[in-house]
Structure 1
Amino acid sequence: MSAPALSVRAAVPERDVEVDLDVPEGRVLALLGPNGAGKSTVLGLAAGTVRPGGGEVQVAGRRVAGERTWVPPHERRISLLAQEPLLLPHLDVLSNVAFGPRARGAGRRGAEQVARARLAEVGVEELAARRVHRLSGGQAQRVALARALAPEPHLLLLDEPLSALDVDAAAQLRQVLRATLRGTGRSAIVVTHDLLDVLALADDVVVLDGGRVVERGTTAEVLSRPRSAFGARLAGVNLVLGERVAADAVRAGADEVHGLASGPPLTPGRAAATFSPRAVAVHRAAPGGSPRNVLPVRVTGLEQQGALVRVRGETASGCRLAADVTPTSLSTLRVGVGDDVVFVVKAAEVDVYAA
């Protein structure tokens, strides 16, 4: 079994970051989390721009940072593709891409052969002689990707590489990245806030919050059964995370949600309940009868979601939930930010599982 492309078991005390994660060889890891969660610090630990205060970092089984060990960034065989291409303006496209192989000792002809192959791989071989100031944003980012691939890195770091592009250019580059990464078995970390990037590129997901790993798993596992607030937002579902109080119930503070238990049998301990915003009905007061899940909330926001309106609310226990309703229903209810309402969801719409 080959060593992971990246192994980080390290702390950066001055940033309150302490992480334990691996990127298996040949897989793409999506590193997710809110702003300030520690994602940039993890990339810095891998790239060599951040020194750990404890623990160690390994690249392809080689220790590159730790006690009495420090391998400088240019010797780690890690490439970075960031939001901005940062191409060298005094060189043409071919020379930009050939720069990495030349720096590793390749001759000019060999480096240019590699550069042409990488430009062809990302679909811009015809731009080889063009100066970088004549490239569009999407073209420049493709060239930057070719440049990152040219030195044959052990690991590619993708730091929100599509965020500065328009919708069409981002969609095109996303497909190029998918073919370049998933179609060739390269190893990579992608930092993104875009669900489409995760779905197109990632084999695995790690969610950071407060400088710690709070969730990890395959992409399918995290999106189908999130166990963190960020994972739930990405998957587009409501999450109640707390303690199991019955075979099919989760309690978080004063909030208790019943549903249908799935997966391995639930045991005492942490459990999660998830349900779609579209499964939630909004009432001014608790309805008659005996609906199983009735959650009083204070409305914190209203957002248009296509043909529906998303009503965001927070319970007294601090649980943040959302309901998707029609504009007609919202008009009838006369609901505004700051109002107290009731979210109602049937137990059959709630998935309960171990957390």
Structure 2
Amino acid sequence: MSAPALSVRAAVPERDVEIELTVPAGRVLALLGPNGAGKSTVLGLAAGTVRPADGEVHVAGRRVAGEGAWVPPHGRRISLLAQEPLLLPHLDVLANVAFGPRARGVARRAADEVARTRLAEVGAEALAERRVHRLSGGQAQRVALARALAPDPHLLLLDEPLSALDVDAAAQLRQVLRAALRGSGRAAVVVTHDLLDVLALADDVVVLEAGRVVEQGTTAEVLGRPRSGFGARLAGVNLLLGERVAADAVRAGDEVVHGLASAQPAARTGRAAAAFSPRAVAVHRTAPGGSPRNVLPVRVTGLEQQGALVRVRGETASGTRLAADVTPASLSVLRVGVGDDVVLVVKAAEVEIYDA
């Protein structure tokens, strides 16, 4: 079995970061979390721009940081593709891509051959003789990707590489990245806030909050059954985390939510999650008659358009953030605005209960 492409078990106290994660060989990991969660620190630990105060970092089985060990960035065989391509302006495209192999001691002709191969791989072979200042944003980022791949790195770090591109260019480069990563068995860490990047590129997901790993698993597991607030927002579902009070019920703060247990619980009590779609939620000014299982009072914190619907965002008294998608006509009848108190109602049949 191949050694992991990346293994991090390290602490950086000055940034309040304590991380333990692994990227298996040939897998693509999406590293997610809110701003300030520690994503850049993890990239720095891998790349060699951040030294851990405690712990170790391994790249392809080699210890590159830890007590008595330090391998500088240029010795780790790791490539970075960031938001800006940062191409060398005095070199043409071919020379930019050949720069990495040349720096590793590859002869010029052989380095140029590698560069042409990598440019072809990303659909940019026609740009080989072009000067950098004549490239569009999407073209420059393709060239930057070819340059990152040219040294045959053990690991590719992608730091929001599509965020500076327009929608069309981002969509095109996303497919190029998918082919370059998932079709080749290359290992990578992708930092992104875009669900489309996660779906197209990632095999696995790690969610960071406040410098700690709060959720990890395959992409299908994390998006299908999120166990963190950030994961739930990315997956587009409401999530209440709390204690299981029955096989089909979770207490989160002052609220008890009933639903359908997705599987036999590991225990009758313990941490559990209740998840449901905003489209399954109805909004009322006051609690409706009858006996709906789940009635959740919230204060409206925001209204935003979601295609043909309006998303009503609210917060419970205990601080849980929830959302409901309703039609503009329904909202106009309710006359709801930010700061109003309303109740959200969701049928138990629409709620999934699972271990957290």
TM class by smaller structure? over 0.9
CA distance in 2, matches of 1:241, 1:263: 17
TM-score normalised according to structure 1 size: 1.00
For residues 62-120 of structure 1, give each alpha carbon's deviation from its aligned partner in whole angstroms, at most 9, with x where no partner exists.
Answer: 00000111000000000000000000000000000000000001000010000000000
Q: Which secondary structure state, in structure 1, belongs to the residue aligned with residue 146 of structure 2?
A: helix
Task: Tell me the equivalent position of 2:296.
Answer: 295
* Amino acid corresponding to residue 340 of structure 1 in structure 2: D
Task: Tell me the equivalent position of 2:126.
Answer: 126
Q: Which secondary structure state, in structure 2, belongs to the residue aligned with residue 99 of structure 1?
A: helix
TM-score normalised according to structure 2 size: 0.99
The answer to whether the 8 Å contact 1:297/1:342 transfers is: yes
Q: 1:107 to 1:264 in 2, by over 3 A?
A: farther
Whether 2:266 is the aligned partner of 1:260: answer no
CA distance in 2, matches of 1:334, 1:307: 18
Q: How does 1:1-355 map to 2 (within 5 A)?
A: 1-267=1-267, 268-355=269-356
CA distance in 1, matches of 2:250, 2:225: 15
- Structure 2: stretches of 5+ with no match in the other structure: none
Q: Which secondary structure state, in structure 1, belongs to the residue aligned with residue 257 of structure 2?
A: strand
For residues 280-299 of structure 1, give each alpha carbon's deviation from its aligned partner in whole angstroms, at most 9, with x where no partner exists.
Answer: 00000000000000000000
* Amino acid corresponding to residue 35 of structure 1 in structure 2: N
1:264: how far off?
4.0
The answer to whether the 8 Å contact 1:249/1:259 transfers is: yes
- Structure 1: stretches of 5+ with no match in the other structure: none
CA distance in 2, matches of 1:119, 1:254: 57
Q: Which secondary structure state, in structure 1, belongs to the residue aligned with residue 65 of structure 2?
A: strand
1:266: how far off?
4.2
1:252: how far off?
1.1
CA distance in 2, matches of 1:188, 1:65: 19
1:263: how far off?
2.7
CA distance in 1, matches of 2:22, 2:103: 28
For residues 117-174 of structure 1, give each alpha carbon's deviation from its aligned partner in whole angstroms, at most 9, with x where no partner exists.
Answer: 0000000101100000000000000000000000000000000000000000000000
* Amino acid corresponding to residue 117 of structure 2 in structure 1: A
CA distance in 1, matches of 2:215, 2:141: 31
1:194: how far off?
0.2
Q: Which secondary structure state, in structure 2, belongs to the residue aligned with residue 322 of structure 1?
A: strand
How many residues are treated as equivalent by the alignment? 355
The answer to whether the 8 Å contact 1:247/1:266 transfers is: no
In angstroms, what is the RMSD of aligned CA positions? 0.5
Percent identical pairs in the alignment equals 86
